[in-house]
Amino acid sequence: MSLSQKVIPNITTPGRYQDKNGLFLNVTETLSKNWVLRYQLNGKRRDKGLGSFPEVSVMDARKKVAELKALIAQGIDPLDDKAMQAAKPVTVEEAARSYIERYRLSWTHVHARQWERSLEMHVYPKIGDKPVSAVDTDDMLLVLTDLWREIPETARRIRNRLEQVLDAEKTLGHRDGDNPARWRGHLQNLLDRGYPVPVPLDGMNYRELPAFWLRLENEDGRAARCLQFLILTGTRTNEAMGARWDEIDYEKQSWTIPADRMKNREEHTIPLSDEAMAILKDVGTRGHSELIFPGRNMDKLMADNSLRRLLKKMGLDCTPHGFRSTFRTWAQEETKHESEVCEQALSHVVGTATTKRYMRGTQFEKRRLLMADWGQFATVPRKTPAVVESRVGFGAGKRRHGGSRASSSAL
């Protein structure tokens, strides 16, 4: 006769009480109650403990028995830890975390963290415990449908990440069949409003920048100085926020960002304009921290959203990253600097794999002229912002009124 959740608490006599399929309840002299599976493998009788009652309910114990019986039928001994580990199905969360660790060294810290956060927030709570071998289209829709309408760019990235993880698991032999996260010819037929088009991060119109700079000058705090440095150097948020004093060459007036902090994993040296050097003098952290723009704790970075919060406080819809677009549009519309020089200033890949073999220079001095022009344009107020002075795009020349907090020679 099988046991039930109501009957078991009333058992007060020590002994073994049979359920079914080899499951029985062992009641000790102290009336502790433990589940045991009795089975035979290779002619030998064995007992496998399944936990104590009531922590493991009758239904949970029977479910475990069914799972173990399936393994026993394949010749796998539940008491063989190594065999059990090998037979254990890989879950979505395990597969994704393994994938991230496999590629972490070739990714930037920020990229790896973006993978981790997006999956932790939107995937693991819904299908993280599911075996990768059982993931299907319904699971993809469970994860993506709402995101597709609310935050399409995040949905696009998550779909792409899941496709990569599931492809890897198929290669590892953990799943078969088509990839349910595939877009072309599959999810594109099911998710409404079409494929979410990546929306560029909002940038400020370059004509508005000089007036904005005057407002930014009046903002106190390292976030404001960091944002100014980011604008003048055309760098990404994490690159500017992670800047260190030992990366600055005062003699050459340059900043070298190591490869492990760059998106393309290549070291990048930026010529610093007089205006950028003045920011370094003004921030006041040299000798107090290894970081140029530390957070409240001088040995730690500012919060990730510090610059965004500052822009929001100032009533602006643009993003810190958007100032790269501001810089690039200004260079294209208002200067005669070569396109390749402007792209290299942003650390963009220029040319094909073949041409890169022959173009090994950094065009550093050309970029110095470009950044000098940009520094003066950004920081010198104009009565008519749309009018750009004739010198822009033709070299550095002499400094004029305003624009810089201090001469770089004061550093």
- One-character DSSP codes across 42-90: TTEEEEEEEEETTTS-HHHHHHHHHHHHHHHHTT--TT-HHHHHHHSPP
Angle between helices 209-217 and 364-379 (to 10 degrees): 70
Q: In angstroms, what CA-CA distances link 331 with 206, 373, 394?
A: 10, 9, 12
Among 8, 6, 38, 7, CA closest to 20? 38
Angle between helices 92-103 and 152-171 (to 10 degrees): 90
Separation CA 63–CA 56 (nearest Å): 10
For the chain, give every residue range classified as CATH 1.10.150.130. Answer: 92-189
What is the reported pLDDT for 85? 62
Q: In angstroms, what CA-CA distances link 385 with 333, 370, 380, 388?
A: 14, 19, 10, 7
Per the document, the length of the chain is: 411
Separation CA 47–CA 43 (nearest Å): 13
What is the reported pLDDT for 78? 78
What is the reported pLDDT for 392? 37
- One-character DSSP codes across 132-166: GGG--HHHHHHHHHHHHHH-HHHHHHHHHHHHHHH
Buried-exposed string 86-99: b where 16+ CB fall within 10 A, e elsewhere: eeeeebbbbbbbeb
Q: Which amino acid is at 373?
A: D
Domain covering 206-410 assigned CATH 1.10.443.10 in the classification: yes
CA 175 to chain centre: 26
What is the reported pLDDT for 353? 54
Separation CA 393–CA 372 (nearest Å): 9
- CATH architecture observed for domain 8-87: 2-Layer Sandwich (3.30)
Contact 381, 211 (CB under 8 A): yes
For the chain, give every residue range classified as CATH 1.10.443.10. Answer: 206-410
Per-residue pLDDT of the chain (411 residues; tens, 9 = 90+): 568 888 888 888 898 888 888 888 999 998 999 999 998 888 888 888 988 888 888 888 888 888 788 778 777 787 776 666 655 778 999 999 999 998 888 888 888 899 999 999 999 999 999 989 889 999 999 999 988 888 888 899 999 999 999 999 988 878 888 999 999 889 988 886 544 455 455 789 999 999 999 999 999 999 999 999 999 999 999 999 999 999 999 999 999 999 888 887 788 999 999 999 999 999 999 999 999 999 988 989 998 889 999 999 999 988 999 999 999 999 999 999 999 899 999 988 665 554 455 455 678 999 999 999 999 999 987 544 443 343 333 333 333 334 444 434 344
Q: Is the dihedral of CA 288, 289, 294, 296 positive or negative?
A: negative
Pick one of 3.90.226.10, 1.10.150.130, 1.10.3720.10, 2.60.40.10 as the CATH number of 92-189: 1.10.150.130
Task: Specify the pairing of strand 248-249 against strand 254-257.
Answer: antiparallel
Angle between helices 109-122 and 152-171 (to 10 degrees): 100
3-class DSSP state of 257: strand
The answer, yes or no, to whether the previous bond of 54 is cis (omega within 30 of 0) is yes
Beta-bridged to residue 46, according to DSSP, are: 39
What is the reported pLDDT for 361? 66
Contact 295, 305 (CB under 8 A): no
Separation CA 201–CA 319 (nearest Å): 6
